[in-house]
Amino acid sequence: MTNAAAADYTIVIGLEVHVQLLTESKLFCGCSTRFGSPPNTQTCPVCIGMPGVLPVMNRRAFELAMKAALALNCRIARFTKWDRKNYYYPDLPKGYQISQYDLPFSSEGWLEIDDPAGEGVRRIGIIRAHLEEDAGKSMHDEVAGRADSRIDLNRTGTPLLEIVTKPDIRSPEEAKAFLTELKLLLNYIGVSDCNMQEGSLRVDANINLHIPTEDGTVATPIVEIKNMGSFRAVERALAYEAKRQYEVFLETGHRLGDVPKQTRGWDEEAQVTRAQRSKEESSDYRYFPDPDLVPVTVTDEEVDAVRASLGELPAELRRELREEYGLPAYDAGVIVSQGREFVAYFRKLAECCGEPKIAANWLQQDVLRTLNAQGITIDAFPLSAETLGELLTRVVAKRLDTARARKVFEYLVENGGSVEQALSALQFEEVDESEIEALCRELVEQNPDVVAKVKAGNPKVIGRLVGLAKKRNPNVNPAQVQKRCQELIDQM
């Protein structure tokens, strides 16, 4: 495809994110929302739309939705209602979906992300966040060359929060960054697990281009992209679609504006988008208020109670780690991305060892590597922050070099116990500073040739003194020996 420069056009992207809420029962009935149950075993007359049944709103789902909306800085409506969205599809047995149309429960929010281009912080606007019920799932198999499609209605009626962004996103990379931050935020406040593999987070993207021409700016038709199974797929699909639209513009020029809006699906294997259908307008769904559900009113006290339950959010924690602990933005981002418990572990570890940067380094390298290797979270990590802090205190004080400290760390992970027990089992002895001082003075005095070369501008040869020190006492800290020998030579 055409390799156009970024200056040739402006990409305009808006996202529609559907998030399954962490409730035990569905939005309007008592059926379970558990994932992985046998097909069509979690249904009832309400969620499959049998005649004569009446839905009842799950208040817990509404509270979780409010929690997410407040975390997204949305305005909470004090009055909202339910609407029927009418369309016919095999996985929607009622022939309509209960959703919210003109009076969503929340609107006018925003979420800030770090600009992937390194240009500070970008604020992405949120048009609305509203509640709706999920549809069923169509399953397509090919057995013996015969297409076989079946419907699983277990998911029908599951509570979904639909988050609609403003068209503020200007690149595929920004779209991925927004989704990453959104997932982290929703995980932090406990409203969804955002597991794309299980369908609890789904993304549709709307994209078009603004192309400058001699006659003014031409806007290409908006294309909706579906079937993206990962954040990386979202990024790839948007990058492909931007290039495709620009290529079509070069071929058709202003006639492009006559092309109807379109829905396209992402083909992960071929790495292309494919046309599916023309995009529907809201009038196509014939929305009207649901006559079986009463409107919902929300009090200020309810909003305040939900707001108070949010706790510290990722952006606040990253700011704290940067400003109060002096961590670089990257380190703060990695630590916060691991969850609240990981941040709490870091705080305690930094307090115990007194050096936040060293604590952050060990967490990002040794601790995370161990967690990933064992498939566990920080809650199940065998070393308490106090024990690891005691080990790092020795590293900070130069009583133990990093190489030996890592061996002690590995021993403790494998065997447990205290730092003292690990040092004894590994036959590591801590060397007193006075011993190191005496050893360094002796080495400097006994090796005038090394001293002369160092003073002549060849500092690397001081490594010979470090090697001699390790031969005499394997327990000495090489970095400490090198530093003290250099100081003694500088004083000569």
Which DSSP letter does residue 7 get?
G
Measured from the Cβ of residue 312, the count of other Cβ atoms closer than 10 Å reads 12
Task: Give pLDDT tens digits for 377-431.
Answer: 999 999 999 999 999 999 998 788 888 899 999 999 999 999 999 988 987 766 6
Distance, CA of 330 to CA of 162 (rounded, Å): 30
Q: Which residue segments constitute the domains of the chain, with CATH numbers given?
A: 6-301 (no CATH), 312-425 (no CATH), 433-490 (1.10.10)
Task: Give pLDDT tens digits for 294-308.
Answer: 999 999 999 999 999
Return the SS3 of 226: strand
User: Which comes out higher in pLDDT, residue 250 or 192?
Assistant: 192
Distance, CA of 475 to CA of 492 (rounded, Å): 27
282 touches 244 (CB < 8 A): no
Going from the C-alpha of 1 to that of each of 210, 263, 355, the distances in angstroms are 19, 20, 52
pLDDT above 70 (res 4): no
Task: List the alpha helices (DSSP H) in 57-214.
Answer: 59-71, 172-188
* Residue 146 pLDDT: 61
Task: Give pLDDT tens digits for 72-102.
Answer: 999 999 999 999 999 998 999 999 999 999 9
490 touches 414 (CB < 8 A): no
Task: Give pLDDT tens digits for 264-315.
Answer: 999 999 999 999 877 666 668 899 999 999 999 999 999 999 999 999 999 9
* Residue 257 pLDDT: 52
User: Considering the chain, what percentage of its residues have pLDDT values greater than 90?
Assistant: 71
Task: Give pLDDT tens digits for 167-189.
Answer: 999 999 999 999 999 999 999 99
Which DSSP letter does residue 27 get?
S
The encoded tokens of residue 183 equal: 């997932």
Distance, CA of 275 to CA of 225 (rounded, Å): 9
In this prediction, residues 108-119 reach a mean pLDDT of: 93
Task: Give pLDDT tens digits for 345-373.
Answer: 999 999 999 999 999 999 999 999 999 99
Task: Give pLDDT tens digits for 428-478.
Answer: 766 667 777 888 888 888 888 888 888 888 888 888 888 888 787 777 778
Q: Which amino acid is at 159?
A: P
**Could you tell me the pLDDT band of residue 321, with boundaries at 50, 70 and 90?**
very high
Spell out the residues 6+ positions from residue 144 whose beta carbon is closer than 8 angstroms to its own.
none
* Residue 126 pLDDT: 98
Bridge partners, residue 112, by sequence: 123
Which DSSP letter does residue 238 get?
H
Task: Give pLDDT tens digits for 123-144.
Answer: 999 999 999 999 999 887 655 5
* Residue 34 pLDDT: 95
Q: Which of 391, 375, 459, 471 is nearest to 426 (CA)?
A: 391
The widest CA-to-CA distance across the chain, in whole angstroms, is 100
Spell out the residues 6+ positions from residue 221 whose beta carbon is closer than 8 angstroms to its own.
208, 256, 257, 259, 260, 261, 262
- Average pLDDT, whole number, for the chain? 91
